[in-house]
Structure 1
C-alpha cells in the first residue's frame, strides 16, 4: 500500500475508522473567486451592448443631453452588434489551439486591458470615426472576450483537483450570466443620466481596467507560482493532479468533422445561440414599441436571463440524479432521454416565438412572461444537447464544445444584421409586422436545427475518441503500477499476473 497516498488522502476517524479528508477552503478558492468576477465583468460588456446602442441612437434625447446622439438606422445597429459576435467567433479556435497553452494569467490580463482601453476610447471612436470605426472596435472587443473560456479551462485544470473541478467550473461559468443580469438594469439607469451612453462606456472601462489590475497583481497561472499558497495546499493539489494526469492527445479534427452526431450538436447549439444573441441585442429596441423607457426595459430583461440560468442549473443535476439513483439509463437509452429533453425544450421555444407576434401592444407583462418562458425552455433544453458533448467523447469534450461554439457563434453573429435589415426603420405598425417576420424566421430556424439534432445525434461514445490510444481514457491514474495492464486490455488480453513476479 502507498503510505504517502494514505497520509495525504485519509485521516483516522474518532471511532478508529479511516475516513476521507474533509473539504477545506484554500487559496485556490480565492483564485476561483477572481475567475468568477472576471467572467462577470466580461458578461457585463455583453449585457450592456444592446442598451448602449439604443441609448446612442435615442432621438428623444437630442435636446436633453450633453452628448451627441447619432442618427443610425436599424441596419447600422445590427451591423454593430454582428461585428462583436463575429470577432468572438473568429478568435475561439485560435484561442483554443494556441493561447490556451500560454500563461493564462497574462492572456486574460491582456484581454481585460484591450477591452478596457477600447471602452474608454469608444466615445471618441464613435463621435470621430462613426459607425464603421465602432464596428472595428467591437470586432476587437469580441476577439478579446473569446480568450476567456479557453484560458479559464486551462486555469481550472492547473488549480483544482479533479473532485472539485466539476463543482467550481459550474460556479465560474455562471459568472458570465450573472454579469449580464447585473449589467442590464445598471446600464439602463446610467443611460438616463446627462452623460448617457458615454457614461456606460466609461463604466465598462473602469470595471475592465480595475479587474485587469486585480487579476495581474493578485492571481497566478498555477499554484507553484502563487506566493500565498502554502506548502500543504500545493502538495495536496500536486498529488491529486499527478494521480490523474491528462495525456497529450492529438485531436482527430477530420474524424470529428466527418461525424454525423457532431453536426447534430452543432445545429442545435447554433439555434439556441441565435435566440440568446437576439435577446441580448434586439429586445431593448423591441420594447420601445410598447412605449417603455429604456430604464424600465432593462429591468424587465433580467427575468428571461434569470430563467435561463435557473433552469439550466436545475435541470442538469436532476437528469444526473434520475440516471444514477433511479437507474433511468438502464431502462431508457440515454440517447432517447437527451432527445426527449431537447424536444420538450424546443417545443416551448418554438411555441413562444410563434405566439409573440400576435400579442397586442397593451399587454407588455404578457410579453415579458412569454420571453421568460422561452428562455426557461431553452435553459431546460441545455441538458439535452449541451451535455451531449461529454457523451460523445471523454477525451475531447472541451474541444468538441469549442467547435460547436464556433459554428454557433458564426450563425449567431448573422442574426442581428439580418434582423436589422428586416426591421429597418418603419412606422410603429410596420415595425410590428417586420418583427413578426423575424420571430417566424427564428422559430423556423429553431425547428430545422433541432430536427437535424434529433436525426443525427446520439449519446454513444464515438470511435474517434479511442483512435490510436492504448488507454481507454485520456486520463490515467499515476498510483497504478506500470506493470499492470491497462483497462482496455482486460477484454482483449489474457492476463498473466505472475509475469512480473
Structure 2
C-alpha cells in the first residue's frame, strides 16, 4: 500500500506516516461544506458593515429612503470601523491559545448568534445610542470574529484525515475573502432601497441567524457525535489519525519575539494588512465622494479584491515550485527569491496608490484597471513574505503566523482611524485623500524595506528541537547523510514497518 509523509499547512509540530485508503466521499465532507458556508457568512459581514456605515451618512438618500440619515463625517466613520479591527486584534491571541483546545461546535454557534443578534439590533443602536454605542457593538463583533479561524482549525483536525486538511483548510479560509467580495456589490445595491442602510443590517442578521440554525442542527463537534456518520467512515478516520501524532513542544515565544526574521515578516504582514484594510473601508468612500453612487463604488471595489485573490492563488504555488526546484538559481541567489517577489508586489502597490488620486477628477475604466492592478500586486506580496514563514520554521509555522497576524491586525485597525482624521468633515477634498494614499504607500514601502533587510530564508535557531524532520525539509540537500540516516532510523517504529 502506498504511504506518504504529510504536513498540514501552518499546523505546528506534527509528524507521522499515514496510509491511502479507498474511502473517499463521506459525511465529513458535508461537515466541511457547512464550515465553508459559516466562513462565507462571516466574510460577508466584514465588508457589508463597512458599506452600511458609509450608507448611514449618505445624504444623497435623504429624499429616497424612509430611514434617518445621520451626519457622521469620516472621523466618526473611521472610529467605528477601527473598533471592529481593534476588537479582532485583542482576542486573536486568547482565541488561538484557548479555543483550539476546545474545538466544540457550540462556540461557532455562539459566534454566529452574537453576530446575527448584533446585526439585527444595529439599526436601533445607531438611531438610539449614537456612534459611541455603535463603536461598542462593532468592537464586540470583531472580538467574536477572532474566534472563527481557531475553531475552524480544530474542527478540521477533529474531522479530517491529514491528507485532506490542507485542501479544505484553504477552502474554508478562502471563503472568508469570497464572502467579503460577494457582500460588497450586494450591500451597495441594498443601500439604494427605501430601507437603505437598515436593510443591509437586517439582511446580515437574517443570513447569519439562519446559518446558526443550520449549523447547530446539522453538524457535530466530532465524527463520533454525528448521528448520520457510518461505522465505516468513523473507522477510516481513526485509522488515518492513528500514526499522525502531535509532538509536545514548548513554544519559544520569547526567542521568536527576539528574532529579526520574525519582525521582518511581521513588518511585511503589517504593510499588506494596512493596504487591504484601506481598500476595504476607504476605497468605496473615495469613489463615492467623487465619481459615482455607492452602488457603483461597491462594484468597482469588489473587482480589485477578486484580482488580489486570483493573483495569490495562481502565483503562490507556482512561486513555491520554482523556489523548491531551484530554477531561480540561474538568475540570482535563491536566498533573495522571496524578497524579490515581495518587492515586486510592494512596488506595484506604491505606484498604484501614488497615481490613483490623480485619476479622481476624470474617473473612467482606466481608474478601475489601476485599482485592479494595485490590489493584484498585494496578492503577489502575500506570495512572497507569507511563504517565507515555511522557510523559517518547520515546527512553529502556525504560531509565527498567529503572532504576525496580531501585529498586522493592530496596524490594520489604525488605518480607518488615521485616515478618518486626515479626511475629517471634507470628504471631497482631493488633497486630503492624496495625503492618505501617499501615507499608505509610504508605510508599505518602509515596512518592505525592513523585510528586505532583515528577512531570512534560513531555518531559525529557535526552531531546532534536536532532530531534523524526516520527509519534509526546506532544502534536503543541506542535510548531512549521517543526520538523515539517524533521523530516518528514529522515525521508524513497528507500526510504520507494518504499514510499509
Give TM-score scaled by structure 2 length: 0.88
Task: Give SS of 1:376's match.
Answer: helix
Deviations 1:73-115 (A, max 9, x none): 1110100010000000001000011112113311111111111
Task: Give SS of 1:461's match.
Answer: coil
Structure 2 matches for 1:188-199, cutoff 5 A?
188-199=188-199
Contact 1:8 1:236 in 2 (8 A): no
In structure 2, do the counterparts of structure 1 residues 296 and 491 end up closer, same or farther at CA, with 3 Å as the change threshold?
closer
Deviations 1:30-70 (A, max 9, x none): 11111111111011011112211111001122232211111
For the residues of structure 2 that align with 1:218 and 1:329, how far apart are their CA atoms? 52
Match of 1:348 in 2: 348
Contact 1:268 1:449 in 2 (8 A): yes
For the residues of structure 2 that align with 1:374 and 1:235, how far apart are their CA atoms? 49
2:404 is equivalent to residue 404 of structure 1: yes
Task: Give SS of 1:386's match.
Answer: helix
In structure 2, do the counterparts of structure 1 residues 307 and 229 end up closer, same or farther at CA, with 3 Å as the change threshold?
same
For the residues of structure 2 that align with 1:464 and 1:253, how far apart are their CA atoms? 9
Task: Give SS of 1:359's match.
Answer: helix
Contact 1:49 1:281 in 2 (8 A): no
Match of 2:83 in 1: 83
Structure 2 matches for 1:101-250, cutoff 5 A?
101-250=101-250
2:367 is equivalent to residue 367 of structure 1: yes
For the residues of structure 2 that align with 1:103 and 1:8, how far apart are their CA atoms? 29
Match of residue 449, structure 2, among 434, 448, 451: 451
Match of 1:37 in 2: 37
For the residues of structure 2 that align with 1:291 and 1:376, how far apart are their CA atoms? 22
Task: Give SS of 1:98's match.
Answer: helix
For the residues of structure 2 that align with 1:158 and 1:149, how far apart are their CA atoms? 14
Match of 2:476 in 1: none
1:399 shift after superposition: 1.3
For the residues of structure 2 that align with 1:216 and 1:396, how far apart are their CA atoms? 33
- Which deviates more, 85-94 or 146-155? 146-155
Match of 1:490 in 2: 486
Contact 1:247 1:475 in 2 (8 A): no
Structure 2 matches for 1:69-80, cutoff 5 A?
69-80=69-80
Match of residue 436, structure 2, among 425, 435, 438: 438
For the residues of structure 2 that align with 1:104 and 1:473, how far apart are their CA atoms? 31
Task: Give SS of 2:31's match.
Answer: helix
In structure 2, do the counterparts of structure 1 residues 151 and 473 end up closer, same or farther at CA, with 3 Å as the change threshold?
farther
In structure 2, do the counterparts of structure 1 residues 240 and 446 end up closer, same or farther at CA, with 3 Å as the change threshold?
same
For the residues of structure 2 that align with 1:104 and 1:341, how far apart are their CA atoms? 39
Structure 2 matches for 1:217-366, cutoff 5 A?
217-324=217-324, 328=328, 334-366=334-366
1:284 shift after superposition: 1.6
Task: Give SS of 1:245's match.
Answer: strand
Deviations 1:192-233 (A, max 9, x none): 111111111011111111111111121122222222222222
- Which deviates more, 246-255 or 262-271? 246-255
Match of 1:3 in 2: none
1:463 shift after superposition: 1.4
For the residues of structure 1 that align with 2:322 and 2:229, how far apart are their CA atoms? 39
For the residues of structure 2 that align with 1:164 and 1:103, how far apart are their CA atoms? 18
For the residues of structure 2 that align with 1:263 and 1:32, how far apart are their CA atoms? 34
Deviations 1:270-294 (A, max 9, x none): 0110011111111121012333111
For the residues of structure 2 that align with 1:226 and 1:22, how far apart are their CA atoms? 22
Q: Report the structure number with the largest CA radius of gyration.
A: 1
Deviations 1:106-145 (A, max 9, x none): 1111111111111101111111110000000000000010
Contact 2:53 2:77 in 1 (8 A): yes
Contact 1:244 1:475 in 2 (8 A): no
For the residues of structure 1 that align with 2:244 and 2:427, how far apart are their CA atoms? 62
Task: Give SS of 1:338's match.
Answer: helix
Deviations 1:2-49 (A, max 9, x none): xxxx5999xxxxxxxxx9545721111111111111111011011112
Contact 1:119 1:205 in 2 (8 A): yes
Q: How many residues align?
A: 469
Contact 1:304 1:375 in 2 (8 A): yes
Task: Give SS of 1:301's match.
Answer: helix
Match of 1:97 in 2: 97
In structure 2, do the counterparts of structure 1 residues 348 and 331 end up closer, same or farther at CA, with 3 Å as the change threshold?
closer
1:340 shift after superposition: 1.1
For the residues of structure 2 that align with 1:411 and 1:474, how far apart are their CA atoms? 38
For the residues of structure 2 that align with 1:52 and 1:220, how far apart are their CA atoms? 34
In structure 2, do the counterparts of structure 1 residues 65 and 363 end up closer, same or farther at CA, with 3 Å as the change threshold?
closer
In structure 2, do the counterparts of structure 1 residues 7 and 289 end up closer, same or farther at CA, with 3 Å as the change threshold?
closer
Contact 2:26 2:233 in 1 (8 A): yes
Contact 2:191 2:200 in 1 (8 A): yes
1:248 shift after superposition: 2.4
Match of 2:463 in 1: 465
